[in-house]
Structure 1
Amino acid sequence: MIVMDNHIAALHRGALQRQARQRVDLLDELRAVQNASSRGMNQRDIAEVLVTSQAKVHRMLKAIERRPDILSSDQPEELILRAFAYDTPRRDLIEKLKSISYTDGEEAPYPDEGRIPGTWDQVVGAHAQELLTESEFNEVRAAVGR
């Protein structure tokens, strides 16, 4: 196990912030692809405008098709990622998280298998990834009755 002194802890936090920014950038890119597609642009033109490949645009459109909720900007995951990545005030984040009406995960309908995560799973996942502290997680959990 690694002993976390202040310097190592700062390196770890920096790595977590870079990963959070990458995820936020991906969400923003998905929205840009959806925006261009909804304007009737074909995949090659979208790729040219967004300076990426047509294959990547195709994969992103398929991801949006499978999970259209991924573009919803009021998802707890995105709120947490943006706050962590860009050091926005934690109090603002916690108040937003406390005001959300959360959903539970559910079993995937036939013929799919597995579980479809709910919005509360996003909060639990963020806590597990160290994007929320124990006290922040407990405050939100108590406020929403989880």
Structure 2
Amino acid sequence: MIVMDNDLAALHRGARQRQARQRVDLLDELRAVHNASSRGMNQREIADVLVTSQAKVHRMLKAIERRPDVLSAGAPEEIILRAFVCDTPRVELLERLKSLSYTDGEDAPYPHEGCIPGTWDQVVGAFAQDLLTEREFNEVRAAVGR
């Protein structure tokens, strides 16, 4: 087990913030690809405008096709990630999370297997990744009746 001193803790927090920023950037990029696609642009044109590869645009369009909910702003995961990246005051983050309506996971429809996560699963995942403290998680859970 690694013993964290202040320098290691700062490195660890920086790494977690970079990972969160990458996820937020991906969500923004998915929305940009969708926006360009909805304007009738082909994959090559989208790639040129967004300064990326046509192959990446293709993968992103497939991801959007499989999970169109990724485009909806205001998901708990995105709220938590943006708060973590931007150092939003925790009180503000908690108030926003407590004001949301949450869904549970559901079984994937045939022929797929597994579970489609609900929005509450995003909060649980953020807690597991140390993006929320135990006290914050319990405060949100109590406020939304989970």
TM-score (norm 1): 0.98
Alignment of 1:51-90 (within 5 A): 51-90=51-90
Whole-Å separation in 1 of the counterparts to 2:40 and 2:53: 18
| Corresponding residue of 1:20 | 20
Whole-Å separation in 2 of the counterparts to 1:94 and 1:71: 23
Instruction: Calculate the aligned-residue CA RMSD, in Å.
Output: 0.6
| Corresponding residue of 1:129 | 129
Deviations 1:49-97 (A, max 9, x none): 0000000000000000000000111100000000001111111110010
| Corresponding residue of 1:108 | 108
Whole-Å separation in 1 of the counterparts to 2:2 and 2:134: 20
Whole-Å separation in 2 of the counterparts to 1:93 and 1:73: 15
Kindly state the Cα deviation for residue 99 of structure 1 after the two structures are TM-superposed.
Answer: 0.6
Aligned pairs, number: 146
| Corresponding residue of 1:145 | 145
Consecutive unaligned residues of structure 1, counting only runs of 5 or more, are none
Kindly state the Cα deviation for residue 30 of structure 1 after the two structures are TM-superposed.
Answer: 0.3
Whole-Å separation in 2 of the counterparts to 1:110 and 1:24: 31
Residue identity over aligned pairs, in percent, reads 84
Letter in 2 for 1:143: A
Kindly state the Cα deviation for residue 124 of structure 1 after the two structures are TM-superposed.
Answer: 0.2
Instruction: Give the secondary-structure state (helix, strand or coil) at the position aligned to 1:64.
Output: helix
Kindly state the Cα deviation for residue 22 of structure 1 after the two structures are TM-superposed.
Answer: 0.3
Kindly state the Cα deviation for residue 109 of structure 1 after the two structures are TM-superposed.
Answer: 1.0
Whole-Å separation in 2 of the counterparts to 1:118 and 1:137: 16
TM-score (norm 2): 0.98
Q: Which runs of 4+ in 1 moved over 6 A?
A: none
Letter in 2 for 1:35: N
Consecutive unaligned residues of structure 2, counting only runs of 5 or more, are none
Whole-Å separation in 1 of the counterparts to 2:118 and 2:110: 18
Letter in 2 for 1:11: L
Kindly state the Cα deviation for residue 8 of structure 1 after the two structures are TM-superposed.
Answer: 1.1
| Corresponding residue of 1:119 | 119
Kindly state the Cα deviation for residue 40 of structure 1 after the two structures are TM-superposed.
Answer: 0.4
Instruction: Give the secondary-structure state (helix, strand or coil) at the position aligned to 2:110.
Output: coil
